[in-house]
Protein backbone atom coordinates (compact mmCIF):
# COMPACT_ATOMS: atom_id res chain seq x y z
CA UNK A 1 0.00 0.00 0.00
CA UNK A 2 1.12 3.54 -0.71
CA UNK A 3 2.61 5.15 2.45
CA UNK A 4 1.03 2.52 4.68
CA UNK A 5 -2.55 2.93 3.44
CA UNK A 6 -4.71 0.00 4.46
CA UNK A 7 -7.51 -1.77 2.62
CA UNK A 8 -9.90 -0.21 5.15
CA UNK A 9 -8.67 3.27 4.21
CA UNK A 10 -9.19 2.52 0.51
CA UNK A 11 -12.70 1.15 1.09
CA UNK A 12 -13.54 4.17 3.26
CA UNK A 13 -12.24 6.55 0.59
CA UNK A 14 -14.58 4.92 -1.91
CA UNK A 15 -17.59 5.20 0.41
CA UNK A 16 -18.01 1.44 0.66
CA UNK A 17 -19.60 0.78 4.05
CA UNK A 18 -20.18 -2.86 3.08
CA UNK A 19 -16.48 -3.48 2.49
CA UNK A 20 -15.49 -1.48 5.56
CA UNK A 21 -17.78 -3.61 7.73
CA UNK A 22 -16.28 -6.82 6.31
CA UNK A 23 -12.74 -5.57 6.86
CA UNK A 24 -13.52 -4.46 10.43
CA UNK A 25 -15.18 -7.81 11.13
CA UNK A 26 -12.03 -9.53 9.83
CA UNK A 27 -9.84 -7.58 12.26
CA UNK A 28 -8.96 -4.30 10.53
CA UNK A 29 -8.38 -1.52 13.05
CA UNK A 30 -10.37 1.70 12.61
CA UNK A 31 -7.67 3.68 14.42
CA UNK A 32 -4.73 2.61 12.19
CA UNK A 33 -2.79 5.43 10.52
CA UNK A 34 -0.71 5.68 7.37
CA UNK A 35 2.61 7.49 6.94
CA UNK A 36 0.87 10.89 6.87
CA UNK A 37 -1.20 10.14 9.97
CA UNK A 38 -4.43 9.60 8.02
CA UNK A 39 -6.98 7.23 9.52
CA UNK A 40 -9.80 5.47 7.69
CA UNK A 41 -12.06 8.27 8.98
CA UNK A 42 -9.84 10.87 7.27
CA UNK A 43 -9.90 8.73 4.11
CA UNK A 44 -13.70 8.65 4.14
CA UNK A 45 -13.78 12.46 4.22
CA UNK A 46 -11.13 13.31 1.62
CA UNK A 47 -12.93 13.12 -1.75
CA UNK A 48 -16.56 13.84 -0.88
CA UNK A 49 -17.09 15.80 -4.08
CA UNK A 50 -16.77 12.59 -6.09
CA UNK A 51 -19.66 10.85 -4.32
CA UNK A 52 -22.38 12.16 -6.65
CA UNK A 53 -20.39 11.00 -9.68
CA UNK A 54 -19.98 7.52 -8.20
CA UNK A 55 -23.70 7.18 -7.47
CA UNK A 56 -24.59 8.38 -10.99
CA UNK A 57 -22.31 5.64 -12.34
CA UNK A 58 -24.22 3.08 -10.29
CA UNK A 59 -21.51 2.54 -7.72
CA UNK A 60 -22.92 1.94 -4.24
CA UNK A 61 -21.24 4.41 -1.94
CA UNK A 62 -22.26 6.37 1.13
CA UNK A 63 -19.55 8.28 2.99
CA UNK A 64 -21.91 9.15 5.85
CA UNK A 65 -22.57 5.44 6.37
CA UNK A 66 -18.81 4.81 6.37
CA UNK A 67 -18.21 7.61 8.88
CA UNK A 68 -20.98 6.30 11.16
CA UNK A 69 -19.60 2.76 10.94
CA UNK A 70 -16.02 3.81 11.62
CA UNK A 71 -17.04 5.94 14.60
CA UNK A 72 -19.17 3.10 15.98
CA UNK A 73 -16.18 0.75 15.62
CA UNK A 74 -13.70 2.94 17.49
CA UNK A 75 -12.25 5.39 14.96
CA UNK A 76 -10.88 8.40 16.86
CA UNK A 77 -13.16 11.29 15.88
CA UNK A 78 -10.62 14.01 16.69
CA UNK A 79 -7.47 12.32 15.34
CA UNK A 80 -5.01 14.64 13.58
CA UNK A 81 -2.67 13.91 10.70
CA UNK A 82 1.01 14.85 10.93
CA UNK A 83 -0.06 18.20 9.42
CA UNK A 84 -2.71 18.71 12.11
CA UNK A 85 -5.67 18.00 9.79
CA UNK A 86 -8.80 16.39 11.27
CA UNK A 87 -11.57 14.51 9.47
CA UNK A 88 -13.98 17.21 10.64
CA UNK A 89 -11.83 19.90 9.02
CA UNK A 90 -11.79 17.90 5.77
CA UNK A 91 -15.59 17.82 5.82
CA UNK A 92 -15.83 21.52 6.62
CA UNK A 93 -13.55 22.35 3.66
CA UNK A 94 -16.09 20.60 1.41
CA UNK A 95 -19.21 22.04 3.05
CA UNK A 96 -20.72 22.85 -0.35
CA UNK A 97 -21.50 19.13 -0.61
CA UNK A 98 -24.41 17.93 1.49
CA UNK A 99 -22.71 14.58 2.14
CA UNK A 100 -19.80 16.51 3.70
CA UNK A 101 -22.24 18.25 6.03
CA UNK A 102 -23.78 14.87 6.95
CA UNK A 103 -20.33 13.46 7.73
CA UNK A 104 -19.42 16.57 9.73
CA UNK A 105 -22.62 16.23 11.78
CA UNK A 106 -21.70 12.65 12.70
CA UNK A 107 -18.13 13.57 13.62
CA UNK A 108 -19.22 16.59 15.67
CA UNK A 109 -21.70 14.39 17.53
CA UNK A 110 -18.97 11.82 18.25
CA UNK A 111 -16.57 14.50 19.45
CA UNK A 112 -19.28 15.99 21.66
CA UNK A 113 -20.12 12.55 23.07
CA UNK A 114 -16.44 11.86 23.75
CA UNK A 115 -16.01 15.24 25.47
CA UNK A 116 -19.09 14.66 27.62
CA UNK A 117 -17.90 11.18 28.54
CA UNK A 118 -14.40 12.37 29.47
CA UNK A 119 -15.77 15.13 31.69
CA UNK A 120 -17.39 12.60 34.04
CA UNK A 121 -15.25 11.67 37.03
CA UNK A 122 -16.55 8.12 37.36
CA UNK A 123 -14.38 5.23 36.07
CA UNK A 124 -15.53 3.19 33.06
CA UNK A 125 -17.86 0.29 33.85
CA UNK A 126 -16.16 -3.00 34.68
CA UNK A 127 -18.11 -4.83 31.98
CA UNK A 128 -17.72 -2.37 29.09
CA UNK A 129 -18.62 -3.71 25.63
CA UNK A 130 -15.76 -4.58 23.29
CA UNK A 131 -14.30 -1.67 21.30
CA UNK A 132 -15.71 -3.07 18.05
CA UNK A 133 -19.32 -3.15 19.30
CA UNK A 134 -21.43 -0.19 18.17
CA UNK A 135 -22.45 2.09 21.05
CA UNK A 136 -26.15 2.38 21.88
CA UNK A 137 -26.30 5.85 20.27
CA UNK A 138 -24.85 4.67 16.92
CA UNK A 139 -27.04 5.54 13.95
CA UNK A 140 -29.22 2.64 12.83
CA UNK A 141 -28.91 3.59 9.18
CA UNK A 142 -25.16 3.25 8.65
CA UNK A 143 -25.47 0.15 6.47
CA UNK A 144 -28.17 1.41 4.08
CA UNK A 145 -27.63 2.04 0.35
CA UNK A 146 -27.21 5.66 -0.70
CA UNK A 147 -29.64 7.41 -3.05
CA UNK A 148 -29.80 10.84 -4.63
CA UNK A 149 -31.94 13.56 -3.01
CA UNK A 150 -32.37 17.31 -3.34
CA UNK A 151 -32.29 19.70 -0.39
CA UNK A 152 -35.34 21.94 -0.97
CA UNK A 153 -33.85 24.75 1.13
CA UNK A 154 -30.59 25.05 -0.83
CA UNK A 155 -31.21 23.12 -4.04
CA UNK A 156 -28.11 20.99 -3.30
CA UNK A 157 -27.93 17.43 -4.53
CA UNK A 158 -27.46 15.09 -1.56
CA UNK A 159 -26.30 11.49 -1.57
CA UNK A 160 -27.42 9.75 1.62
CA UNK A 161 -29.51 7.00 3.16
CA UNK A 162 -33.32 7.11 3.15
CA UNK A 163 -33.49 7.60 6.92
CA UNK A 164 -31.06 10.53 6.85
CA UNK A 165 -33.04 12.10 3.99
CA UNK A 166 -36.27 11.70 5.92
CA UNK A 167 -34.76 13.25 9.06
CA UNK A 168 -33.48 16.23 7.07
CA UNK A 169 -36.61 16.68 4.90
CA UNK A 170 -34.86 15.96 1.60
CA UNK A 171 -36.75 15.19 -1.63
CA UNK A 172 -35.89 12.05 -3.64
CA UNK A 173 -34.65 12.64 -7.19
CA UNK A 174 -36.17 9.36 -8.38
CA UNK A 175 -39.24 7.31 -7.49
CA UNK A 176 -37.44 3.99 -6.88
CA UNK A 177 -37.04 2.50 -3.41
Task: Give the CA diameter of the chain.
Answer: 51
177 within some domain: no
88 within some domain: yes
Q: Which pLDDT value is given to residue 170? A: 83
Q: Which pLDDT value is given to residue 41? A: 95
97 within some domain: yes
Total domains in the chain come to 1
For residue 114, count CB atoms less than 10 angstroms from its CB and return exposed for 0-12, middle for 13-18, buried for 19 or more. middle
Q: Say if CB 24 and CB 132 are below 8 A apart.
A: yes
What distance in Å separates the CA atoms of residue 69 and residue 47, rounded to the nearest whole number? 18
For residue 74, what are the CA distances in angstroms to 36, 67, 70, 101? 20, 11, 6, 21
12 within some domain: yes
Q: Say if CB 39 and CB 31 are below 8 A apart.
A: yes
Q: What is the mean pLDDT of residues 47-57?
A: 74
Q: Which pLDDT value is given to residue 156? A: 75
160 within some domain: no
Greater pLDDT, 43 or 148: 43
Give which of 28, 50, 25 is closest to 39, Cα–Cα: 28
Dihedrals phi, psi of 6, to nearest 5 degrees:
-100, 165
Q: Kindly report, residue by residue over 123-176, the tens digit of the pLDDT.
A: 444 444 444 444 444 444 444 456 677 888 888 777 666 777 787 788 887 644
Q: What is the CATH number of the domain that holds 65?
A: 1.25.40.20
Domain ranges, residue 23: 2-116
70 within some domain: yes
Q: Say if CB 128 and CB 153 are below 8 A apart.
A: no
Confidence of residue 33 (pLDDT cuts 50, 70, 90): very high
Q: Kindly report, residue by residue over 56-115, the tens digit of the pLDDT.
A: 677 778 888 999 999 999 999 999 999 999 999 999 898 887 788 889 999 998 888 655
For residue 41, what are the CA distances in angstroms to 27, 69, 73, 166, 171? 16, 10, 11, 25, 28
Q: Which pLDDT value is given to residue 4? A: 83
100 within some domain: yes
Q: Kindly report, residue by residue over 72-89, the tens digit of the pLDDT.
A: 999 999 999 999 999 999
Give which of 44, 22, 9, 15 is closest to 146, Cα–Cα: 15
pTM confidence score: 0.65
Amino acid sequence: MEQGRTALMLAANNGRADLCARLLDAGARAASTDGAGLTALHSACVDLGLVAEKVEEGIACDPAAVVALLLARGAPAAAETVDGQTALALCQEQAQHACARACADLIEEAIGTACAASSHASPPPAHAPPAHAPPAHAPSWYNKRARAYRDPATGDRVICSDEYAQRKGLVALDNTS
